[in-house]
Structure 1
Amino acid sequence: MTLGRRFALGAAIAVLALIAALAVAPELFATHDPLQTEVRAALLPPSAEHLFGTDQSGRDVFSRVVYGAGRSVGIGVLATALAFAVGLAVGSLSGVAPRLVDAAAMRATDILMAFPEFLVALVVVAVLGPGPVNVAIAVTIAAIPVYIRLARAQTRTLRLAEHVEAARILGVAPSLAFTRHVVPGVVGALSVLATIGIGSSILAAAGLSFLGLGPTEPTPEWGLMLAGGRNVLGQAWWISVFPGIAITLTVIAATVLGRTLRARAEGRTR
């Protein structure tokens, strides 16, 4: 790995560690109550008192960004975890299922993959209704097909591997050989994909919140904060810029880490 890639990986890990700390213990970093309003302090620019300025209601933007990490990252992590679990179960079973069952599952997966993930999530939210829980469900459903595809491909490859065949020759039951030797390999491949998927899920959830389909005011959430500052962008740019920077850094850091892990996994495979 080159020095530049090592620096990028270190920076990505540092950013993700900071975001995780903000999500777990926001009270240690916030300087104000994220819900406290003060009309006389509305639309103040960044200063020593308010590091990221204030919004239209006089709420501290820095504190809202800090507390927003928990909700924004939480939705992304939850959606990725659910997509991981469903994709692992459906994809692995499809890889060992009879041909007709496998073909039916893959055609349904192909239909979902034919549309952009954000469009699928938008349709699901339109059916289920707005709200943070429905946003997480929508993002999960949109992400599942990719995990199913990868889990199926890995299952069909690993079930023919030499160590799996050796286990069967030694008398290990097919179901036991599958859970001990095939599933762990599939989990490893999906874990790399999930690292990248967290960033995509956070971005999709923020996009839905920006459209008013996620949490509602006065909840501190990055996508909702972006939407709240769009009408005063020329007058108070900080309301939208700082949550946007938080989203961008988180997505880039997760992508860098995921791609590094994928490159290492592919190197070991070769």
Structure 2
Amino acid sequence: MSIGRRILLGTAVLVLAVIAVAALAPDLIAAQDPLRTDVRGALQAPSAVHPFGTDQSGRDVFSRVVHGAGRSVGIGLLATGLALALGLLFGTLAGIAPRPVDIVAMRITDVLLAFPEFLVALIVVAVLGPGPVNVAIAVTLAAVPVYVRMGRVQTRTLAVAEHVEAARILGVPPGRAFLRHVVPGVLGSLSVLATIGIGSSILAAAGLSFLGLGPAEPSPEWGLMLAGGRNVLGQAWWISVFPGAAITLTVVSATIVGRLLRARAEGRGS
């Protein structure tokens, strides 16, 4: 790996580490209560006391951004994990299914892939109703087709690999050979894909929250904070800019790590 890529990877990992600390232990970074209001201190510009300023209710934006990491990143991670599990299940089943079943499954997958993930998630939330749980379900269902297609391709490739054939020749039962040699390989490929998908899931969840379909006020959540500051952007830009920057840094960093991992897995990361 070149020096430039090492620096880029190190920076991305550092950003993700800070986000992880903010999500798991926000009080270590921001001690102020993200829900405490102070009407007299509303719309204060960034300062030493309030590094990211205050919002319309006088709440500390820095504290809300830090505490919002748990919700925003948590929804993205949950959706990605569920999508990976469902993609592994249905992708491997499609890979070993009879040809008619495989064709039907792939045509359904192709139809879903024809629509943008965010549009699919938006339709699902419109059916299920708003709320953080429904947002996670919607983002999961929107992302599943990508994992199903990848899982199916990897299953069909690994099923005829030399080491799998060798295991069968040595007398290993087909089912055991499949679980020991095919499924782990498929899971590895999907895990690399998931590192890129985390950023997309976080972005989709934030977009749904921005539209008012995710967590409700006064919960600190990045997309919701973006929406809360859009009407006073000219007067108090910091209300939307800082949560927007948090979303951007998280998504870009996750994408960088995912792409570099994929390049290494494909033998292009040296």
CA deviation string 1:241-270 (max 9, x = no partner):
00000000000000000000000000079x
CA deviation string 1:148-169 (max 9, x = no partner):
0000000000000000000001
Residue 262 (structure 1) aligned with residue 262 (structure 2): yes
Matches within 5 A, 1:91-240: 91-240=91-240
| Matching residue's letter, 1:258 | G
Q: Take 1:31 and 1:38, find their aligned partners in 2: how far apart are those partners?
A: 16
Q: Take 2:20 and 2:147, find their aligned partners in 1: how far apart are those partners?
A: 24
| Matching residue's letter, 1:11 | T
| Matching residue's letter, 1:33 | D
Normalising by structure 2, report the TM-score. 0.98
| Matching residue's letter, 2:232 | V
What is the percent sequence identity of the aligned residues?
Answer: 77
Q: Take 1:258 and 1:232, find their aligned partners in 2: how far apart are those partners?
A: 36
| Matching residue's letter, 1:245 | A
Question: What SS does structure 1 have at the residue aligned with 2:102?
Answer: helix
CA deviation string 1:91-146 (max 9, x = no partner):
00110011111111111111110100000000000000000000000000000000
Q: How large is the Cα RMSD of the aligned pairs?
A: 1.0
Question: What SS does structure 2 have at the residue aligned with 1:48?
Answer: coil
Q: Take 1:61 and 1:39, find their aligned partners in 2: how far apart are those partners?
A: 14
| Matching residue's letter, 1:39 | V
Matches within 5 A, 1:9-48: 9-48=9-48
Question: What SS does structure 2 have at the residue aligned with 1:172?
Answer: coil
- For structure 2, which runs of at least 5 residues remain unmatched after alignment? none
Normalising by structure 1, report the TM-score. 0.98
Pairwise CA distance, 1:68: 0.2
Pairwise CA distance, 1:4: 1.3
Q: Take 1:68 and 1:233, find their aligned partners in 2: how far apart are those partners?
A: 20
Q: Take 1:187 and 1:165, find their aligned partners in 2: how far apart are those partners?
A: 19
Pairwise CA distance, 1:40: 0.2
Residue 82 of structure 1 corresponds to 82
Pairwise CA distance, 1:90: 0.2
Q: Take 2:183 and 2:268, find their aligned partners in 1: how far apart are those partners?
A: 18
- For structure 1, which runs of at least 5 residues remain unmatched after alignment? none
Question: What SS does structure 2 have at the residue aligned with 1:36?
Answer: coil
CA deviation string 1:1-38 (max 9, x = no partner):
22111110000000011100100001111131000000
Which runs of structure 1 show a deviation greater than 2 angstroms over 4 or more consecutive aligned residues? none
Q: How many residues align?
A: 269
CA deviation string 1:38-83 (max 9, x = no partner):
0000000000110100000000000000000000000000000000
| Matching residue's letter, 2:43 | L
Residue 253 of structure 1 corresponds to 253
CA deviation string 1:216-235 (max 9, x = no partner):
10000000000000000000
Question: What SS does structure 2 have at the residue aligned with 1:37?
Answer: coil
Q: Take 1:140 and 1:107, find their aligned partners in 2: how far apart are those partners?
A: 19
